[in-house]
Structure formats: C-alpha cells, structure tokens
Chain A
Amino acid sequence: MSEAAAIPAPAVVGRIRPVWRRPLAIAGAVIALMWLVVAIFAPLIAPYDPLAQTFTALQPPSLDHPFGTDELGRDVLSRVIYGARVSIPLALLLVFLAATIGGVLGAIAGYFRGLADGTVMRVTDLVFAFPAIILAMVVTAVLGRGLRNAVLAIVIVAWPAYARVVRGLVLSIGDSEYVQSARLLGVSSRKTLFRDVLPNVAGPVLVLATLDLGTAILLLAGLSFLGLGAQPPDPEWGSMVATGTQYFEQWWIGTFPGLAIFTAVVAFNFLGDSLRDFFDPTSAGADRGR
C-alpha cells in the first residue's frame, strides 16, 4: 500500500509578514549597508583628508564643510566618514573573534560536559559578573591604550555570551530524540555533533552576532571616548564625541559623530531583531495570530 506524501494542513497564521514588508528590517538593512559602503569607499567619498588641519578651525556647517570643522581645522564630515573605516570593520572582526572563541568553548563544554563544562561555565560567570565597559577598561589599562588592545578587551568581554548559547544548544539538541536515535543506530557522537547539532547552532549565533555588532561599535566608541581606545589623531567616532564635550558651543563637533554611532547601532539592532524573528517566529517580537 503505497501512499503519496501529502502536505499536512496549512498552519493557521495571523499575519507573519514576509521580509519585504517589515519596515524596521528594511531600514536596518539599508542603513547598515550604507555604513558598510561608506567604510569601504571612504577615500572616494570623503571630500578631504581627515587628518589635514588646513582649514579654519571651529567653522559651523556650511556648503564647503557640511559637518563643519573641528578644533584643529579638520573637516568633520571626512573624519566621520573615515571613522566608519575604524568602527565598522573592527566591530565585524571583534564579533567574529568573540563568536568563534565563544562558540568553540561552548561546544566543548556542552559536548564533553563534566570538568570542561564546569570550567568554562565558571569563567563565563566571572566575566558576566562585571559590567562590560568596566572590564574592558581594566583590560586596556593593563595592556595599554590603543585600538588593538581595545579590540582585545571587547573580545574578552563578548565571548561568554556565545559560549552560553552554543553550550545550551549543544546540550539540548544532543539530548533530542533524533540525535538519540542516530546514536542508537551506531552513529558516533562526534558525527552527530557536526551533522545534527552545529547546523542548528548557526542561526542563533548569527542573531546574537548581529545584535552584538551594535554593542561592539558602542563599546569601541566608549573606550575611545575615555581615551583608552583610538588615540589622536585617528578619526574614531567615540574620541570625536569626547572632543565635542569640550567644545559644547561648537555642537557640530560632537553631534555628528554621535549621530553616526547612533544610526549604526540602531541599524544593526533592527537587523538583528528581524533575523531573530525570522529564525524563531515564536519570540515576542513576531506579529502572529494565536
């Protein structure tokens, strides 16, 4: 008695909107893409050399200098554009490192359990006990100032979240019935790890990473604001905002870099939220019927 497979009853849905009808996702994607383009093509887009101190200092925004000039006579617009070259790629690198390190450690913890699990978990507990910015400050204080150490510091602060997520998934999928069935059929547990568990890990990690991009940019800017990250004369949004606080009357010096930080962070957050809804429609953000 052969049967053709039938598609089971279509699930009753409220209104799951396809990607192209979600305004937040589109806005996020567009802005994020824009910053990426800016970062890549900065030399072609920026009107002036960001380090050139050739202009009249402290000029308000004008046609020549849409974002005005700063205290050393540099064009703020060019500096904001080149700032993207610092923040965006570093944030991407940073998140990639944190996700990889955290993911591997989390997978080891979940797979081997026992001592490995306990050790990794206690270390993550330790890191979580500190506010991110404080810990990052401590690390840069120890290692010295500069962008490279700032990146390192933030990686140290960021990896535990990935370890937790991946460990949780390795444990729960490892205990799932289809993995147990495979094990009973003779498949080794290492094979099930790579074949069944890890593909399911990609989604949540991607969501976390996208949301983390915003945090990374913010942390980087924060460290630079405190003088621990980017050093003068590098154009970095956070240090530009720091300068802006000393020149309050010349509002354009701090506001435009600040807006850059804001838009970039918000864009990645929107993107991350939409990705999360896409992967897990049961989460609170999804617009769905009963």
Chain B
Amino acid sequence: MSALLEVEGLRVRLPTRQGPVTVVDGVDYEVQPAEVFGVAGESGSGKTMSVLALLGLLPPGGAADGHARFGGRDLLRLRRSELRTVCGRDIGIVFQDPMTSLHPMLSIGQQLGEPLRIHLKLSRSAAKRQSAELLDAVRIPDPESALRAFPHQFSGGMRQRVAIAIALAGNPSLLIADEPTTALDVTVQAGIIRLLDRLRRERGLSVILITHDLGVMSSIADRISVFYAGRVVESADRKALVTRPRHPYTRALIDSLPHPEAPADTPLVPIRGMPPAAGAFPSGCTFHPRCGYAVASCTTDVPPLVREGERLLACPVDPLRQ
C-alpha cells in the first residue's frame, strides 16, 4: 500500500538576528492512509515547523528543502495557488488555540461555507446543508442555529470542534492537528480525542497529530515519531514505542512523565539539562550532552535513521536493545 504522504530529507531554515538557523535537519517519515501518525517532541524540536513547511506556512524568510510527496505531487515544489488548493481540499489543518484560529467577526456558517464554496464549488444552499452536516459530524448540538452563531458564543472545546469541521469541509484525506488539545481541559480533551478517532474510522482519514503529550498520543496514535532537535530519533508503532523504547531520549522522556496507570510512587526522573536552542544544536548526535549512554563517537557522528523491522532508530549505540 503506497503511503499517503512521504516526507524525505526535509530541512527547514529560519531567519534570526544571528543569521539563518536550521530548525529541521533532515527528517523522513511516511503517513499511511487511515492512520493516526503521532509526532512527539518538546518545544524547539522542530515538530511544528516541519509541518508548517509542508503547508507553505513558514514565517517570511523561511526556506524548506527536501521532498514531501502527496497525491502524486511534491508539496514543497508547488506554486502558491496550487498549494492553496491542496491545503483547502486535500489537507485539513487544526491549530492549537481555538480562540485565535477562528475569525471572531464571521459567523460559523460563513467560516464553514467559505471552503465549501471555494474548494467544492457548492452552491449557497448546498453549502448550508453541508455545513450543518459537518457540524453534526463533530457533534455540535443544534447545528442549524450554530451556523448563525459566532465563535465567542462557544466554549473552547466547542470552538475546537468547529475548527475541525472547517478542516474537514473540503473532504481531505489528511488532517494535520498541531497540539489540538493542549489548550483544553482534560475532560474536554477526552472528547476531542474520541472525536478524532471516530472521524478517522468513519472517513478513512489520516491524521498527523503533533503534541508533546505522550498520554494523548498513546491513546490514539497508530505510529509515533519522536523528534529531538530537528531530527527524528525514533519511530515505531505505538505500543512498541511506549512499552519498549529503544532511543535513550524516548526512554528518558517516558521516565520523566507522570504515568496515571503506574503506581503513585513511581519517581519522576527528569532529563538533565535542557533541550538545545535552534542554532545551537550540539555536534554529532544532538542528544549526546544529555544522554546517559553517550560514547565518544556520539559527539562527532550524526546517527543515521536506520530501519529495523517496523522500527526506525537513530542510535548506533542502541544501549536499550533487549
């Protein structure tokens, strides 16, 4: 089965006062159809930028190299107008903050109607019907009156549902969600996670879920890629990654988080040091200053991402192999 999205050798550079810095340094991954693909990492790992690059949403002066094959085309080589069509129709996007991702002055109906009329070329009445159906799909109660309402009349969780509905308007095959639940309360978050899961099953939708929250990832993702300092360090299916992590960073990350299902006195083991800032990435393996298993070669050689069965691993030392 061919992949829905194939990213190869993605590099992203951004302008700063000190000159251009590389925030994504050679990233490869594949997203299959009807799969939830989790992108995990802390701030500064490049996870958001790698996705913004695909959508042409980098800040002014930003540049991306590499390939991103989607639907027979390379997203990084498309013209602005073509990219706009792809993003409106074949790829949907949901951002973190539902307060700012919806237009405060336009009604829900207007915001939903726009992609329907532009990308699906629906008539006004057909768009209205379809909008109501979309709101129903994301379980907004009373869709008809919701269409006339404005974002400020809804709670955060509801707004995020509306944002998801808008993202689905063009009937995309891929939905990109960047920290979709981080700004939400935990009970509301649970609803959104379930919603995404149902949408994935009903529509055969693939989802790229970017989040630093491994718990959220563990509930819904099929496969998880872990990003650190602009590179992918490990990629495996959910259960394997969470229960048998092989990369020292993945292991350290899991150990530093509180696990609700583990006994209460399981200690939180912090990862010593801090994630490096873009532009100041260490040489060789970027994790080596914080790694408990680093050897001399780790400071000089950049570890390649190697396939081992279903797993991708960027650690030649591989100290955690059973």
Residue of B nearest to A10 (CB): B16
Whether A289 and B277, one on each chain, are in contact in the complex, defined by CB atoms closer than 8 angstroms, is no
Whether A290 and B59, one on each chain, are in contact in the complex, defined by CB atoms closer than 8 angstroms, is yes
Residues of B within 8 A of A13 (CB): 15-17
Q: Indicate the member of A3, A8, A12, A289 with the most B CB atoms within 10 Å.
A: A12
Whether B277 and A9, one on each chain, are in contact in the complex, defined by CB atoms closer than 8 angstroms, is yes
Whether B272 and A290, one on each chain, are in contact in the complex, defined by CB atoms closer than 8 angstroms, is no
Min Cβ gap B311→A in Å is 30
Min Cβ gap B91→A in Å is 20
The answer to whether B100 has its CB under 8 Å from any CB of chain A is no
Residues of A within 8 A of B21 (CB): 10
Whether B59 and A10, one on each chain, are in contact in the complex, defined by CB atoms closer than 8 angstroms, is no
Separation of A280 and B154 alpha carbons in the complex (Å): 33
Residue of A nearest to B279 (CB): A10
Cβ-neighbour of A9 out of B15, B44, B60, B62 (below 8 A):
B44
The answer to whether B18 has its CB under 8 Å from any CB of chain A is yes
Asked if A3 meets B59 with Cβ closer than 8 Å, knowing A9-B278, A10-B17, A11-B17, the reply is no
The answer to whether B264 has its CB under 8 Å from any CB of chain A is no
Whether B60 and A289, one on each chain, are in contact in the complex, defined by CB atoms closer than 8 angstroms, is yes
**Which of under 10, 10 to 19, 20 to 34, or 35 or more describes the interface residues of A?**
10 to 19
Whether B59 and A14, one on each chain, are in contact in the complex, defined by CB atoms closer than 8 angstroms, is yes
Residues of B within 8 A of A11 (CB): 16-17
Whether B61 and A9, one on each chain, are in contact in the complex, defined by CB atoms closer than 8 angstroms, is no
Separation of A160 and B61 alpha carbons in the complex (Å): 43
Whether B15 and A12, one on each chain, are in contact in the complex, defined by CB atoms closer than 8 angstroms, is yes
Separation of A11 and B16 alpha carbons in the complex (Å): 6
Whether B272 and A1, one on each chain, are in contact in the complex, defined by CB atoms closer than 8 angstroms, is yes
Contact with B along A6-29 (1 / 0, CB 8 A): 111111111110000000000000
The answer to whether B314 has its CB under 8 Å from any CB of chain A is no
Whether B277 and A8, one on each chain, are in contact in the complex, defined by CB atoms closer than 8 angstroms, is yes
Residues of B within 8 A of A10 (CB): 16-18, 21, 277-279
Min Cβ gap B19→A in Å is 9
The answer to whether B274 has its CB under 8 Å from any CB of chain A is yes
Residues of A within 8 A of B59 (CB): 12, 14, 289-290
Asked if A12 meets B16 with Cβ closer than 8 Å, knowing A1-B272, A289-B60, the reply is yes
The answer to whether B209 has its CB under 8 Å from any CB of chain A is no
Separation of A10 and B279 alpha carbons in the complex (Å): 8
Contact with A along B44-65 (1 / 0, CB 8 A): 1000000000000001111000
Whether B274 and A6, one on each chain, are in contact in the complex, defined by CB atoms closer than 8 angstroms, is yes
Residues of A within 8 A of B60 (CB): 14, 289-290
Contact with A along B263-276 (1 / 0, CB 8 A): 00000000011100
Separation of A9 and B16 alpha carbons in the complex (Å): 10
Residues of A within 8 A of B5 (CB): none
Q: Which residues of B, 9-27, contact A by the 8 Å Cβ criterion? A: 14-18, 21
Separation of A290 and B18 alpha carbons in the complex (Å): 17
**Can you pick out 10 interface pairs between chain A and chain B where the beta carbons lie within 8 Å of each other?**
A6-B274, A7-B280, A9-B44, A9-B279, A10-B16, A10-B18, A11-B17, A289-B60, A289-B61, A290-B60
Residues of B within 8 A of A (CB): 14-18, 21, 44, 59-62, 272-274, 277-280
Given A10-B18, A11-B17, 6 more contacts at CB 8 Å? A7-B280, A9-B279, A12-B14, A14-B61, A16-B17, A290-B59
Interchain residue pairs A-B with the least CB separation, the first 10: A9-B277, A10-B16, A290-B59, A289-B60, A289-B59, A12-B14, A14-B60, A9-B278, A12-B59, A10-B18
